[in-house]
């Protein structure tokens, strides 16, 4: 949807009159699944951009307050839930504003220490009581679920890219991931642990945002950041502070290489995305061969 400041202004004025006088500013980048706006100095408004993401609102409203008390850094805290209107067809949320900048290497004082902070966050998330949590499925793009759901897509991507990549190594990584099935009780997964969803203050991890893919299941999907953002010493620091066995690490490789492969197939002429996907692919292959 075309969601702009004027629409958000009308929704706030109609449904949240207590904030009628507060300025509204679009946040850039504003996200893909949702559009995010700053409301005054202490609040944000977050609106799903498509019906596929609309169910995330009720899920975050239900579970984030319960999770927040168990986690070592800030996460979004809902303070109001908006309703569909004649202009906007889905529920939407108002959250407390969280200070911080998205994670970039240049903003991080000590990357291995940052990796440890991310690992500690994930361990705390996985230890939080998961009974009754939302199961993996199409609404969270199967995060926490079985990688088998993406098998056909992955194998097709390998065939499409056969002339450009080490197809044999990619196949070996993927088959190793599928071989290591998750057999434990489900745990909480964020579902989209990427640098854009990690906030930094004073060079350290300060918050984790965007829980739209939240669910319970296999935590391997949350470990793909080991290749998408970390490398060398920071990857080793990350792994050493996780509660993840070799099978979980193998499945995490599978998540990382799946995303790299489909990105290489889909991005076309976007040089930046292609280069990043190629880098992640190479990181996975090198680490796999030297495991």
Q: What pLDDT is attached to residue 268? A: 74
Q: How far is the C-alpha of 11 from the C-alpha of 17, rounded, in Å?
A: 9
Q: What pLDDT is attached to residue 30? A: 65
Q: What pLDDT is attached to residue 28? A: 83
Q: What pLDDT is attached to residue 270? A: 86
For the chain, which domains are there? Answer: 5-96 (3.30.200.20), 101-289 (3.90.1200.10)
- Beta strand segments in the chain, E: 24-26, 34-39, 43-48, 78-82, 92-96, 101-102, 187-189, 198-201, 204-208, 215-217
Q: What pLDDT is attached to residue 237? A: 98
Q: Which residue in 221, 190, 155 sits closest to 67, CA to CA? A: 190
232-249 residue pLDDT tens: 999 999 999 999 999 999
Coil, helix or strand at residue 215: strand
Residues of the chain with pLDDT below 70 are: 30-31
Which pTM value belongs to this model?
0.95
């Amino acid at each position: 949807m075309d969601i702009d400041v004027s629409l958000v202004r009308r929704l706030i004025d109609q449904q949240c009159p207590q904030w009628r006088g507060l300025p509204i500013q679009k946040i850039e980048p504003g996200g893909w699944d949702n559009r995010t706006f700053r409301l005054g100095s202490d609040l944000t408004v977050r609106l799903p951009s498509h019906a596929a993401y609309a169910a995330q609102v009720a899920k975050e409203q239900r579970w984030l307050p319960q999770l927040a008390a168990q986690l070592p850094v800030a996460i979004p805290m809902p303070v109001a839930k908006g309703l569909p209107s004649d202009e906007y067809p889905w529920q939407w949320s108002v959250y407390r504003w969280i200070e911080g900048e998205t994670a970039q290497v240049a903003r991080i004082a000590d990357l291995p220490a940052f990796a440890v902070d991310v690992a500690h966050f994930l361990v705390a998330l996985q230890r939080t009581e998961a009974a009754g949590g939302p199961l993996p499925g199409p609404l969270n793009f199967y995060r926490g679920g079985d990688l088998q759901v993406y098998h056909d897509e992955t194998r097709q991507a390998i065939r499409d890219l056969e002339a450009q990549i080490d197809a044999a190594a990619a196949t070996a990584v993927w088959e190793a991931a599928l071989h290591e099935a998750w057999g434990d009780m489900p745990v909480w997964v964020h579902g989209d642990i990427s640098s854009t969803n990690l906030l930094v203050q004073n060079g350290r991890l300060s918050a984790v945002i965007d829980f739209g893919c939240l669910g319970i299941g296999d935590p391997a999907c949350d470990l793909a950041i080991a290749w998408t953002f970390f490398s060398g010493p920071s990857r080793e620091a990350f792994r050493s502070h996780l509660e993840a066995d070799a099978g979980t690490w193998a499945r995490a490789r599978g998540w990382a290489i799946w995303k790299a492969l489909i990105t290489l197939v889909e991005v076309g002429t976007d040089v930046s995305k292609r280069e990043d996907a190629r880098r992640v692919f190479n990181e996975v292959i090198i680490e796999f061969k030297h495991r």
